[in-house]
């Protein structure tokens, strides 16, 4: 092999090695930055901080997008973190999720409910479905003014349980096929189960009649499953929500950016602007 060929071969392998090492180093630095910020928030609030943050991620260096949801692995990790926390120490759980497996969400919610120290759930952007279930178990829910929770109507396959029941009730039972009747039976049980769980986690936070009312509103299909329950809407149905979000939570979310697309869809100068203060190139 000629000297030029050898050089090209060596450069190729060096580039390949760098392409594998650089993402590892970046991920390591990002993990360290997250842990440092978590420790800062823990010292500030004298609490155990746990994150449950789901973003669209890329698989390895291949770059395939992967959507994350609450799963059993999440519940195992959160339960372990709670187990490692002294009983009287406050827990701060930062939640950003589209929802996920009901079993996993209920496990987390039940463990938080049993914890003797104060439990605060922070929702900087959204915590839908199972994320809402977890939030309801907290002693305090803190949301950004524009953050949302979501309804808790169970989903049977890709269909809302209340809608299955509504469709069956509109027809004569003899005109409904057996499979749909079975789905309706499952849907009825699923709604009953989730209502019972919501009632259990809210019973010491609201009057008995109000607990029933909230459980019915959240679980019986009053809205579509992706309907955004804003801070005002949650207060309207009787839930207590604070908007006193620590800056560190926003800073932490900046370290959980979505996988970058080939073309950015949102661009801005990443700095706060204040009225009356001069910014580069223009007066505000």
CA-closest candidate to residue 138, choices 195, 100, 99, 95? 95
Q: Please give the pLDDT value at position 31.
A: 83
CA-closest candidate to residue 252, choices 45, 5, 102? 45
| Digitized pLDDT (tens) for each residue of the chain, 284 residues in all | 566 767 676 676 777 776 667 666 667 777 888 899 999 999 999 999 999 999 755 444 444 445 678 999 999 999 999 999 999 999 999 999 999 999 999 999 999 999 999 999 999 999 999 999 999 999 999 999 999 999 999 999 889 999 999 999 999 888 889 999 999 999 999 999 999 999 999 999 999 999 999 999 999 999 999 999 999 999 999 999 999 999 999 999 998 876 555 556 676 777 777 766 554 544 44
CA-closest candidate to residue 136, choices 155, 118, 109? 109
Give the SS3 label for residue 52: strand
- Output phi, psi for 53, to 5 deg: -120, 120
Q: Please give the pLDDT value at position 80.
A: 96
Q: Please give the pLDDT value at position 211.
A: 96
Q: Please give the pLDDT value at position 59.
A: 47
Tracing tokens 């499979």 back to the chain, one arrives at 179
- Number of Cβ within 10 Å of residue 239's Cβ equals 21
Beta strands in the chain, from DSSP E residues, in sequence order: 48-53, 57-59, 64-66, 91-96, 119-123, 126-127, 140-143, 148-149, 155-156, 159-160, 278-279, 282-283
């Amino acid at each position: 092999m000629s000297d030029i060929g050898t050089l090209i071969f060596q450069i190729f392998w060096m580039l390949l090695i760098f392409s594998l090492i650089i993402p590892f180093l970046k991920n390591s630095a990002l993990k360290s930055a997250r842990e440092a910020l978590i420790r800062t928030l823990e010292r500030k609030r004298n609490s155990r901080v746990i994150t449950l943050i789901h973003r669209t991620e890329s698989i390895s260096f291949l770059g395939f997008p992967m959507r994350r949801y609450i799963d059993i692995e999440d519940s195992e990790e959160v339960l372990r973190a709670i187990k490692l926390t002294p009983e009287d120490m406050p827990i701060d759980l930062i939640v950003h999720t589209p929802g996920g497996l009901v079993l996993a969400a209920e496990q987390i919610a039940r463990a938080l409910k049993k914890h003797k120290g104060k439990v605060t759930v922070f929702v900087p952007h959204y915590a839908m479905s199972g994320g809402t279930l977890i939030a309801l178990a907290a002693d305090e829910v803190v949301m950004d003014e524009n953050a949302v929770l979501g309804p808790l109507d169970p989903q049977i396959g890709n269909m809302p349980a209340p809608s299955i029941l509504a469709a069956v009730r509109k027809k004569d039972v003899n005109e409904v096929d057996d499979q749909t009747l079975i789905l309706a039976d499952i849907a009825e049980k699923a709604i009953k189960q989730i209502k019972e769980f919501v009632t259990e986690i809210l019973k010491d936070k609201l009057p008995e009649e109000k607990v029933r009312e909230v459980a019915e509103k959240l679980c019986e299909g009053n809205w579509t499953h992706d309907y955004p329950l804003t801070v005002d809407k949650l207060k309207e149905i009787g839930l207590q929500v604070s908007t006193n979000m620590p800056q560190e939570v926003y800073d932490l979310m900046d370290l959980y950016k979505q996988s970058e697309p080939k073309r950015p869809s949102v661009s801005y100068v990443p700095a706060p602007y204040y009225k009356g203060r001069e910014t580069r190139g223009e007066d505000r």
